Amino acid sequence: MADGIKGWARLIRATKVSYWGLGWALRAEEAFRIEAALCVLLVPAALWLGHGGVERAVLLLSLFFVLITELLNTAVEVVVDRIGPEWNELSGRAKDLGSAAVHLSLLQVPAVWACVLLS
């Protein structure tokens, strides 16, 4: 590791920077705020509607998958923007692919919930 931090100190540092990233996303990314708000609303529904641990876990994971995908998409966008503001076909493609991943993650939520709740 470049900074020489090891063991518990490394774990604590990794946890802190993870929360810094979440905080930044909540402050700076409207899409993440909207998805997080929907997650807050749907988590209790998932816990209430799921019958047993596996169903609850599947419903919850479908929600968290959206947040994870949005964070990764945002990371791609930040890196592309860091490289430069001028238009580049590959940069555009990278952003489009990230956006497509978020779109698919959003589509899987109602599909998963339907499969679990209608079975």
Residues catalogued as catalytic: 70
Cα separation, 108 vs 46, in Å, equals 15
- Of 59, 58, 55, the residue nearest 43 (C-alpha): 59
Provide the b/e sequence for 18-39 (b: ≥16 CB within 10 Å).
eeeeeeebeeebeebeebbeeb
Residues making up the chain, counted from first to last: 119
Cα separation, 2 vs 117, in Å, equals 48
